[in-house]
Amino acid sequence: MISRRQTLGFAAALAAGPAVARAEKPIIVNALGGLSNPNLQIGRPAGPAADTSIVDFDARGLRDAKASGLTAVNITLGYVAGPQEPYAYTQKTLDVWDKIIADNAADLTLVRKAGDIAKAGADGKIGVIYGFQNAVQIGEKLERIDEFAARGVRIVQITYNLPTLLGDGSMAPENRGLTPLGREVVAGLNRARLMVDLSHSGERTCLDAIAASKAPISINHTGCRALTDLPRNKTDAELRGVAEKGGFVGVYFMPFLNPTSQASAADVTAHIEHALKICGEDHVGIGTDGSVATIDDMEAYKAALAQEHEERKAAGIAAKGERADTQPFVMDLRGPDQFRKLASLLRARGHSQRVIDKVMGRNFVSFAGRVWG
């Protein structure tokens, strides 16, 4: 029900005209990204591939993230792949980020409900959304879902690139569907009102999870396979299934958007436009899969990335289309201006401000409300 105060506020905004409406601070939500300073990676000794306990967070990364206008971001915590014991390792990364948020309370806040995102923006803070990019840390102990939910986790990706007890990742050639345990985990996530994320999943696992879930689901960072036929991208059937369930699809700024594995801003807009065509304007957003901090020495950073790729390849978690000479970002769509530039590119393509606002963050907030409340 709309209160009298809200009614008066709407009337005042209408009387003031469109200038006041556009002065409203935009909501920008990165459905999968980071707050890191990538410059800290340069020259660092090699560590386990996909090690989320290495937190390249500092004042520089935070400053650039705030300068970008970012309202909220889903960051990856917990076990993704590697030799670590998944459950204990996940608890360690949650402890690390609890402390980071506590130590930076003037700038960061933990997001538990959809309304926390708008509040973060109004308070001049960045909302931090705790998310997993694998679910093996849950395993067969379904009570851990409630435990992780109590700790603030709000997004759980069912698989990474490899097969697990829950289903197959995008690089598993067998393309099995969701396993019986996977179905139990999806049901448990539904009960706990956590987002079920199908990024990185194999096609059959994704379609099975869409059918099995009682709540809207998401693919928080992906591209469109109709434009670039790589396993990390989703088919039209998967995209359409998510939308028909009331879910959300986030397009990433990754090399998988182009068959050459060297993606551009034009590729990002093309994949967003295809997703809009398949899913409709209420179900598409962004999940860049990267941070926003400026890289000072690009050649040195590329060398560090090449080393990281070799580690990922040796660990068996590298995706098709991922090479030593590719970067996990789009060269002409990076740094603190990336969101403003993307909005300008979409505007130049003829998209209305209404649609742009939805893509940049409002669709994610609406989806979060349907899941988290």
Tell me the average pLDDT of the chain: 91
The burial class, CB within 10 Å (0-12 / 13-18 / 19+), for 42 is middle
**What are 278's two structure tokens?**
């398949």
CA geometry: angle at 121 spanning 117 and 125, to 5°? 100
First-to-last alpha carbon distance for the chain, in angstroms, is 16
Across the range 28-50, mean pLDDT stands at: 86
Provide the pLDDT for residue 303.
83
Beta strands in 82-175 (DSSP E): 108-110, 126-132, 153-157
Q: Of 199, 195, 190, whose CA–CA distance to 249 is shortest?
A: 199
Provide the pLDDT for residue 46.
64
Encode pLDDT of 175-218 as tens digits: 999 999 999 999 999 999 999 999 999 999 999 999 999 999 99
Q: Of 57, 61, 56, 72, whose CA–CA distance to 125 is shortest?
A: 72
Q: Is the pLDDT of residue 7 over 60?
A: no
Provide the pLDDT for residue 55.
85
Residue 133 belongs to what H/E stretch? none
Tokens 């400026």 sit at which residue? Answer: 294
Beta strands in 174-235 (DSSP E): 195-197, 218-222
Per-residue 3-state assignment (H helix, E strand, C coil) for 297-361: CHHHHHHHHHHHHHHHHHCCCCCCCCCCCCCCCECCECCCCHHHHHHHHHHHCCCCHHHHHHHHH
Q: Of 11, 15, 34, whose CA–CA distance to 338 is shortest?
A: 34
Task: Give pTM, 2 decimals.
Answer: 0.91
Encode pLDDT of 57-68 as tens digits: 999 999 999 999
Q: Of 167, 266, 156, 173, whose CA–CA distance to 215 is shortest?
A: 156
**What are 318's two structure tokens?**
């590298």
**Residue 47: pLDDT band with limits 50, 70, 90:** low
Provide the pLDDT for residue 16.
38
CB 320 within 8 A of CB 230: yes
Across the range 252-262, mean pLDDT stands at: 96
Calculate what percentage of the chain has a pLDDT beyond 90. 79
Q: Which amino acid does the sequence have at 111? A: V
Provide the pLDDT for residue 257.
98
CB 132 within 8 A of CB 76: yes
CB 71 within 8 A of CB 29: yes
**Residue 24: pLDDT band with limits 50, 70, 90:** confident
- How far apart (Å, rounded) are the C-alpha atoms in residues 355 and 359? 6
Q: Is the pLDDT of residue 319 over 90?
A: no
Encode pLDDT of 77-120 as tens digits: 999 999 999 999 999 999 999 999 999 999 999 999 999 999 99
Q: Is the pLDDT of residue 17 over 60?
A: no
**Residue 317: pLDDT band with limits 50, 70, 90:** confident
Tokens 């978690």 sit at which residue? Answer: 317
- Lowest mean per-residue pLDDT among 1-5, 27-31, 145-149, 250-254: 1-5
Rg (CA), the chain: 20
Encode pLDDT of 152-173 as tens digits: 999 999 999 999 999 999 999 9
Q: Which amino acid does the sequence have at 332? A: D
